Amino acid sequence: MITLLEKKIATRYLFTKKKDGFINIISTFSFLGIALGVAVLIVVMSVMNGFRTELINKINGFNPHLKIFSYENSINLDKLKNNKIKLVSEDFFLSNTGEAVIIHKSYTKGIILRGYLRDDFKKLRVINNENFIGNKTISYNSISIGKELSFILDVSVGDKISLMSPSNIMSIAGSLPKQKTFIIDSIFESEINEFNLNIAFINLNDLEDFFELDKDNRYLEVFLKDPKNIEKKKEIFQSVFKEKLINSWADLNQSLFSALKVERNVMFIILSLIILIAAFNIISGLTILVKNKTRDIAILKSIGVRNSSIIKIFFLVGFFIGMISTISGIIIGIIFAKNIESVRVLISNIFNVSLFPEEIYFLSKMPSEIDILSILIIALFSIFITCLVSIYPAIKASKLDTIKSLKYE
């Protein structure tokens, strides 16, 4: 329990007199260092959270949230009437995929084909954005390609391209790869360049005929109302489709998001060193303060103040510095994180440089997402470090010899 006397003395030592000006300088630098460290951590974590969220939204805007595979029997669609599944789901599409080679004039390129039924295709999110060009239904012998691929092939809606399948057909010359001509019926544009370049859509029946696939091996694409907490949603579907293989968007992009998580954790550790270094200044400041207040400590002890109270007094000085600087850092960090895009534009205009170029990151502005849990962890870490480094000077103050201190003072 901290007494009123201990609080008053700690507050008095916190705001030292002019003769202790050097201690004020150290305390000021400790305050600024911790506050800036906390602020920088909040800004960096917010930007990385924002970038991760934007990336998830872009991936999920093109790909399904869950894929249910069947390798033996066809998927029983009646199970989708389950109340738990209906509660979390938005849309279901039967689909299948295959790898083919596009041939157009002298250009060839490998591509992934995704097949959808005519009425399902027009429900896809990538088809219903403002950048989509062409027919929103996928007819027989027609294909929908990405904008980037259309630039490379130099084609537009209405042009023809040829696809070569790994499936073979017998001819007079022997076994030859199956080849078929498709009409470009539409051009889509997702927010990720790799999708625009490497994926195309055709009618599901065309795809199965082209690759000689069994209709019973179609997989089910699931779009959820909310793709967050994907593992719990996956468990719901797994409990209904017990004998089926289910992959989530997190499973399919595990290496990417694992790399982002590692990078985020490394950045937290590196930037935490700013707080750690600034906190060690508190040791210096409190040690000098103890040295300067030797006489005061001796007098306090001589009038009956216990060693535990001396420890609390000097510990409170360090704690107050840490607490005030942490709160200040949180305020600065939140304000900066909320206005990070304005700051980016200002710096770009002043120094005439391109920060966070859209053509590299595929984002029109710098993302930022403030996470309360991250801020809480940063605040607790900062306060814990400042409390930790305040213990040694406080204990040293309590161990001063009263008689020797008064004698030499």
Rounded mean pLDDT for each run of 10 residues along the chain, 409 residues in total: 77 64 68 88 89 81 87 82 89 91 87 91 87 89 92 91 78 69 92 87 92 87 87 90 86 80 84 82 78 75 80 85 90 92 82 67 75 91 88 81 58
Query: φ and ψ at 63, to 5 degrees?
Result: -100, 155
- Note whether residue 144 is domain-resident: yes
pLDDT of residue 174: 55
pLDDT of residue 331: 95
- Is residue 297 domain-shared with residue 370, that is, in the same domain? yes
- Is residue 43 domain-shared with residue 176, that is, in the same domain? no
Contact 325, 31 (CB under 8 A): yes
- Is residue 71 domain-shared with residue 191, that is, in the same domain? yes
pLDDT of residue 404: 60
- Is residue 296 domain-shared with residue 155, that is, in the same domain? no
Helix axes 254-292, 307-338, angle to 10 degrees: 140
- Is residue 85 domain-shared with residue 49, that is, in the same domain? no
Return the residue matching tokens 């805007």: 61
- Note whether residue 337 is domain-resident: yes
- Is residue 75 domain-shared with residue 222, that is, in the same domain? yes
Helix axes 340-351, 307-338, angle to 10 degrees: 70
- Is residue 191 domain-shared with residue 313, that is, in the same domain? no
- Is residue 156 domain-shared with residue 302, that is, in the same domain? no
- Note whether residue 346 is domain-resident: yes
- Note whether residue 240 is domain-resident: no
- Is residue 391 domain-shared with residue 330, that is, in the same domain? yes
- Note whether residue 249 is domain-resident: no
- Residue 330 domain boundaries: 4-57+257-408
- Is residue 31 domain-shared with residue 87, that is, in the same domain? no
- Boundary residue ending a domain (207, 226, 245): 226
- Note whether residue 235 is domain-resident: no
- Note whether residue 210 is domain-resident: yes
- Is residue 214 domain-shared with residue 269, that is, in the same domain? no
Q: How many domains does the chain have?
A: 2
pLDDT of residue 366: 81
- Note whether residue 248 is domain-resident: no
Nearest 5 degrees, angle CA 397-CA 403-CA 407? 105
- Is residue 210 domain-shared with residue 291, that is, in the same domain? no
